[in-house]
Chains A and B, each alone.
Chain A
Amino acid sequence: MKPLLSIEGLTVELSTRDRTFEAVSDLTFGVSRNEVLALVGESGSGKSMTAMAIMRLLPEPVAEIVSGRIMFDGIDLASAGEATLRGIRGNRIGLIFQEPMTSLNPSIRVGPQVAEVLRLHKGLDADAARRRVEELFEQVRIPDPRRRYDDYPHQMSGGMRQRVVIALALACDPDVLIADEPTTALDVTTQAQILETFRDLQASVGAATILITHDLAVVAETADRVAVMYAGRIVEETTTERLFAAPRHPYTHGLLGSIPHVAEAGEAGVRERLPEIEGTVPALWALPPGCAFAPRCPRAGERCATERPPLADIEPGHRAACWYPVEAAA
């Protein structure tokens, strides 16, 4: 299927007082209707920078798109003007951030905040907007939506505020949804509730969704496809099932092995030494000439130090950027 949103060779440069370097390098991926693509990575991997670039919310001129296209419905968002972008952001592309208060105005009651978006983008009158907001609050499972309509954000719990943000993101029936660490700030029981709501609503709206997270368990519970990022590049991309069953890039393989997940009864491995990935994430301004993961990689050979492996199909539907990928499990 043709992707609804496709990113082609996107490169984002960051400039600090001392140096200029690429935070996102030559990124190419697409996401289709009804699909959830997870962008996973650690801090500095470029995953959030990618989301900001797609929304054209980069803090320019500190961070700038220097090359590449972001194609959405025939429009290149990378070069679109502010007027075009205003008509798309929050309307055809919905946004959910980690911290709900990034999206909510603390001095305006939550109901009217969501209603405002509907009046602005959809031209609804006050009554129609209010009715629609109450429906949305019901959909995101805010209990007693009529009463909560007049709450200020501070009167709600973190979980409820994140539900309001989801309602806000979905208000205009967006074609694309971008969720940046939507449950990271929440406790585990609240996270389970929000993920369930998110999954159900994403499925019913059918939006092409990019989920940005560092949490592989959240990916396993939510995404259809996964792109793993390391030091500004995608190093592996495939379906969620495939990635967890047979990771091919040594970084993905190491990462999956090193996380102490809650073991099921009878499962082996508890209390043994955890497999480690050696070393630390390299600074983006001091990357090695070859593969950025090579200095930490147990499989690295000479070629890895000098020549960067391209992101290429290593089997149908499975891309990896590695000269010596991990063997596929039988």
Chain B
Amino acid sequence: MTSLLAVEGISKRFTVSRGMGGGTATVHAVDDVSFSIAAGETLGLVGESGCGKSTVGKMIVRLLEPDEGRILLDGADVTHASYRAMRPLRRKVQMIFQDPNGSLDPRQRAGDIVEEPLIVHGLGNAAERRRRVADLFARVGLRPDQMGNVPSKFSGGQRQRLAIARALALQPSLIVADEPVSALDVSIQAQVVNLMSDIQKEFGLAYLFVAHDLGVVQHISDRVAVMYLGRIVEIGDTAVVYHRPSHPYTRTLMEAVPRPDPARRHSRVRVPRGEVPSPLNPPPGCTFHPRCPIATDICRRERPLLRRVASGAQAACHHAE
């Protein structure tokens, strides 16, 4: 079966200034990342800030071009497709951002925001487009009388609904959602998460759900990929990665999440040690080895590759069974 999206060994390097006569340095923001997403599936992409998860999302929607590797959509290589060639492909892949304020034109009316992609892609006549916009408003839980309002008249949750309506306008098969609920109030997050689940079922959408909130990701994802310093360290079915993590970093991450259960407070096995090293100067071998409780010599020398482990997931660890 062809995957809807196949990402093969993509890398992205950024050149940064070291400041004050230090010259420049290269950061491997994303280093040889591969995964695939099937139609209708949700892959959660988690990791701490600077791990490269957002950069991966941006490469898939082509806001950034990978330095290496390939991105295949429905089997077609779109890695370096020209802007023109990208056009039909853009219909298939849409993006939702963390901060809808940054992605919605503050002077544009809400109805026009949702209609714009239809105009750009030459879909339907004016009457058809208006009907489609009305349908989309209803589908995401906005009122028809809100079409004339500018985004600032909307609450944070409603703005995210508006961004979702715009993303749905072209009937995409994949939506890359970068921290779609993390800027929302807690009581609003569940509404948006449920809306995303509902439209997924209804339209057979696939999601790449990029987030740092492990609870939300567990709830919405079929599979999860864990990133650390630009690399995927573990990828597999959500229940497996969460409950039987094979990579020591995944274990550390899962154990570090605070749980809303006061009884559990004193049962924490261990607090993670050390800090994420600078991506400017990552450790050799396995980049997690300086913090890893089970690291040995080989971990300091050789980079572990992702491989199938006993749990059924894939993990990049020399010592995973």
Q: Mark B207-241, 1 if CB is under 8 A from A, else 0.
A: 00000101110111000000000000000001100
Contacts of B146 in A (CB 8 A): none
Q: Are B197 and A190 in contact (CB under 8 A)?
A: no
Residue B24 is within 8 A (CB to CB) of chain A in the complex: no
Q: Are B243 and A189 in contact (CB under 8 A)?
A: no
| Complex Cα–Cα for A189 and B46 (A) | 13
- Checking A159, A188, A258 against B275 with a beta-carbon cut-off of 8 angstroms, the contacting residue is A159
Listed residue (A219, A240, A264, A280) with the most chain B CB atoms within 10 angstroms of its CB = A280
| Complex Cα–Cα for A114 and B316 (A) | 43
Contacts of A160 in B (CB 8 A): 275
Listed residue (B188, B216, B268) with the most chain A CB atoms within 10 angstroms of its CB = B188
B193 to A: closest C-beta gap in Å:
6
Q: Are B276 and A258 in contact (CB under 8 A)?
A: no
Instruction: Assess A188 versus B256: contact at CB under 8 Å? Given A221-B265, A258-B189.
Output: yes
Contacts of A261 in B (CB 8 A): 215, 259-260
Contacts of B212 in A (CB 8 A): 187-188
Main secondary structure of the interface of B (DSSP, over half): helix
| Complex Cα–Cα for A196 and B268 (A) | 10
Q: Are A244 and B194 in contact (CB under 8 A)?
A: no
**Residues of A273-306 whose CB lies within 8 A of B:** 273-278, 280-281
Q: Are A189 and B48 in contact (CB under 8 A)?
A: yes
Instruction: Assess A256 versus B190: contact at CB under 8 Å? Given A188-B214, A274-B219.
Output: no
Task: Report the count of interface residues on A (CB-CB < 8 A).
Answer: 46
Q: Are A192 and B271 in contact (CB under 8 A)?
A: yes
Contacts of B191 in A (CB 8 A): 276-278
Q: Are A217 and B252 in contact (CB under 8 A)?
A: no
Q: Are A157 and B218 in contact (CB under 8 A)?
A: no
Residue A195 is within 8 A (CB to CB) of chain B in the complex: yes
| Complex Cα–Cα for A319 and B243 (A) | 37
Residue A254 is within 8 A (CB to CB) of chain B in the complex: yes
Residue B155 is within 8 A (CB to CB) of chain A in the complex: yes
Instruction: Assess A192 versus B193: contact at CB under 8 Å? Given A187-B212, A241-B262.
Output: no
Q: Are A220 and B48 in contact (CB under 8 A)?
A: no
A305 to B: closest C-beta gap in Å:
20
Q: Are B253 and A191 in contact (CB under 8 A)?
A: no
CB-nearest residue of chain B to A274: B190
Contacts of A262 in B (CB 8 A): 214-215, 218, 242, 254, 257, 259
| Complex Cα–Cα for A78 and B208 (A) | 51
Contacts from A to B (Cβ < 8 Å): 42-43, 157, 159-160, 187-193, 195-196, 214-221, 240-241, 244, 254-256, 258-265, 270-271, 273-278, 280-281
Given A159-B275, A191-B258, A280-B157, 11 more contacts at CB 8 Å? A187-B49, A187-B276, A215-B258, A219-B260, A220-B258, A240-B262, A241-B262, A261-B215, A271-B219, A273-B197, A276-B190
Report, nearest first, the 9 A-B pairs whose CB atoms are least far apart: A260-B219, A187-B48, A217-B258, A192-B256, A258-B190, A265-B243, A274-B190, A42-B185, A189-B272
Q: Return 15 A-B CB contacts under 8 Å, by A number.
A: A42-B187, A189-B253, A220-B258, A221-B259, A244-B261, A255-B187, A260-B220, A262-B257, A263-B218, A265-B242, A273-B197, A274-B193, A277-B187, A278-B191, A280-B158
